[in-house]
Amino acid sequence: MIRDIGPFLMFNDQLDEALKFYTAIFGDSAVVNAIKGPDGKVFSATFRLANQEFKAFNGGPYFKFTEGVSFMISCTTQEDVDQLWDALVAGGGAHSRCGWLKDKFGISWQVIPVQLMQLLGDPDPAVATYARNAMMGMSKIVVAELTRKA
């Protein structure tokens, strides 16, 4: 019987820093447990971000994060999008396209306002097409731009 399924992240040697970074950004977050090695640094941890549990390990430089796996954050307001976007790219992250970014650890995130998904699924093809085309030209998603007619 399956007990649960969740993300497992392999960091190079920055797990201590990542735990502080992520738990400072997301509400309802905490380090659930952390196991320290002989050097006093955390080498394995379970942490929770906005009701999602993650497990992580300092695995060394052998494994890299890629855009092939990302975490999608559904936001209810533009203010939430702006705050999370700025926090996640801080300290060395990178902007990408269509609501995607990469944080300073190389993890990919999609910071998506709920209005984007609503507009993309709009029964009026003109509305959905306009929203899709607007999104394709954006880095961070701006709801006002999705609904503004040229």
Residue 104: both structure tokens together:
């300073």
Alpha carbon dihedral 71, 32, 40, 109, in 10-degree steps, equals: 10
Euclidean distance between CA atoms 126 and 118, whole angstroms: 13
pLDDT in tens, the chain (150 residues): 888 899 999 999 999 999 999 999 998 999 999 999 999 999 999 999 998 999 999 998 898 999 999 999 999 999 999 999 999 999 999 999 999 999 999 999 999 999 999 999 999 999 999 999 999 999 999 999 988 764
Same fold, 1-63 and 65-150: yes
Q: For the chain, which residues make up each domain, given as ranges?
A: 1-63, 65-150
CATH class of 65-150: alpha beta
Task: Classify the C-alpha dihedral 76-80-82-88 as positive or negative.
Answer: negative
Q: Has this prediction a pTM greater than 0.75?
A: yes
The phi-psi region of residue 44 (left if phi > 0; otherwise alpha if psi is between -120 and 50; otherwise beta) is: beta
Phi first, then psi, for residue 64 (nearest 5°) are: -120, 145
CATH topology of domain 1-63: 2,3-Dihydroxybiphenyl 1,2-Dioxygenase; domain 1 (3.10.180)
Residue 62: both structure tokens together:
């052998």
